[in-house]
Amino acid sequence: MIRVSVDPAPIDIGTELAGIEETGAGAVASFIGIVRADDGVTGMELEHYPGMTEGVLCDLAEQAMTRWGLLSTVIVHRIGPMEPGDRVVLVATAAAHRREALDACAFLIDRLKTEAPFWKRETRGGTANWVEARASDDQAAARWTGSEGKPD
């Protein structure tokens, strides 16, 4: 089962994890991204390319399902305005064993950061600026190019 959602509504972690646990998996791994308040950030807004964003996320989920033999994958990503402390993204994977669930979860968040068409604007001191892509995100995504989807 693959579930992908891009929506402005707050993410209900309990509901999403309960759904993935119903697969009967022996392991569920998850990552929750939260709006940080560091460096004076008072707000963040995410925009996306409708249709294309969901397509990229579904493709990444399918890759993870195949590479790690997952039972289920959930990717829920918010768009629109958010404040520090708000949940931005949930990635959850279910597998028979922990290593597959953990590796697939890491793969998904690393690749999502570089491949999904989202644009982030942060507000600091009343001024909003678009955030540039980071080299560290590219490096994290690149580690998954090894054989059989394992990190190099």
For the stretch 24-56, pLDDT in tens is: 889 999 999 999 988 889 999 999 999 999 999
73-125 tens-digit pLDDT: 999 999 999 999 999 999 999 999 999 999 999 999 999 999 999 999 999 98
In angstroms, the CA 137 to CA 148 distance is 21
What residue segments make up the domains of the chain, in order of their start? 2-145
For residue 120, count CB atoms less than 10 angstroms from its CB and return exposed for 0-12, middle for 13-18, buried for 19 or more: middle
Cβ pair 6, 54 in contact under 8 A: yes
Q: Which residues contact 80 (CB under 8 A, 6 or more apart)?
A: 8, 45, 46
Provide the mean pLDDT of the chain: 92
Which CATH architecture describes the domain 2-145?
Alpha-Beta Complex (3.90)
Q: What is the pTM of this model?
A: 0.90
Q: The sheet that has 72-78: what strands, in order across it?
A: 2-7, 72-78, 87-95, 27-34
